[in-house]
Homo-oligomer: A and B are copies of this chain.
Amino acid sequence: DRVRFDIFREKRTGFPEAVFAPGKSDEDIVNIVKAVGDVLVTRLPPDRAEGILKELGDIDRRIEYHETAGVLAARSGDPQFIGRIGLLSAGTSDIPVAEEARVVAEESGCEVINAYDVGVAGLHRLLDPLRRMHESGVKALIVVAGMEGALPSVVAGLVDVPVIGVPTSVGYGVGEGGSVALKSMLQSCSPGIGVVNIDNGFGAAVLAVKILRACSL
């Protein structure tokens, strides 16, 4: 009984319970998944997932593990469609963070239109995906970028919908750990980007979901 659950949170903040795996034992995770109805376990590397999936073998819910995203979902039903969002990543190394956002958003009822490795060093790769997203009627864009984190600035200069910037820890030298990408997004010359913590694909998805839900209030 070391862990209390925020069981009213879905109703209260518009989101299913999410459990951050680091700092919890495999046993903790198994217990939580068994105890809670709908739950997402994030930051779960493949080696840990394997054992946990075995332990959960006979549980009576849909269990899915998304490897690149590092997310395990245990759901009693399928999420209800709430709308569409776009999802961009600047580099290939940013994909795991983008995938965390994708899985969390999809498990919350979003349809996600994504385009990866479309960073600012080659702008010609960016325009087609943006057009496609625009035509699909996305109501928010999640833009994931490490290094100098310039992609959200460029995107927010081209589109109308809210842009959520997710800095990643991809980089080296002065960019190590993601602080350059983070600060670039906060200090963007394109106003109105909502920024989340470094590598926080989860938080970006939550914000996008809240936007979609608010739209249907």
Residues of chain A having any CB pair with chain B under 8 Å: 2-4, 6, 8-9, 12-15, 18, 23-24, 90-93, 95, 116-125, 137, 139-140, 147-150, 153-154, 156-164, 167, 169-180, 182-200, 202-203, 206-207, 209-211, 213-215, 217
Contacts and interface: CB of A to CB of B under 8 A. Distances in A.
Contacts of A124: 8
A91 B167 CA distance: 23
One complex includes copies of this chain to the number of 8
B174 A197 contact: yes
Contact of A23 (B90, B123, B170, B192): B170
Most buried by B among A178, A182, A187: A187
Contact of A147 (B93, B162, B189, B198): B189
Contacts of A158: 12-13, 123
Contacts of A163: 210
A18 B189 CA distance: 12
Given A2-B116, A147-B188, A150-B150, A137 B217 contact: yes
Nearest to A151: B150
A53 to B, nearest CB: 22
Nearest to A187: B175
Nearest to A11: B160
Nearest to A147: B189
Nearest to A154: B120
Contacts of A173: 167, 169, 178, 182, 186-187, 197-200
Contact of A183 (B8, B14, B174): B174
B189 A180 contact: no
Contact of A160 (B13, B184, B186): B13
A118 B6 CA distance: 10
Given A3-B92, A8-B122, A24-B93, 13 more contacts: A4-B125, A13-B156, A15-B191, A121-B189, A149-B184, A162-B214, A164-B194, A172-B200, A173-B186, A179-B183, A186-B195, A186-B196, A194-B195
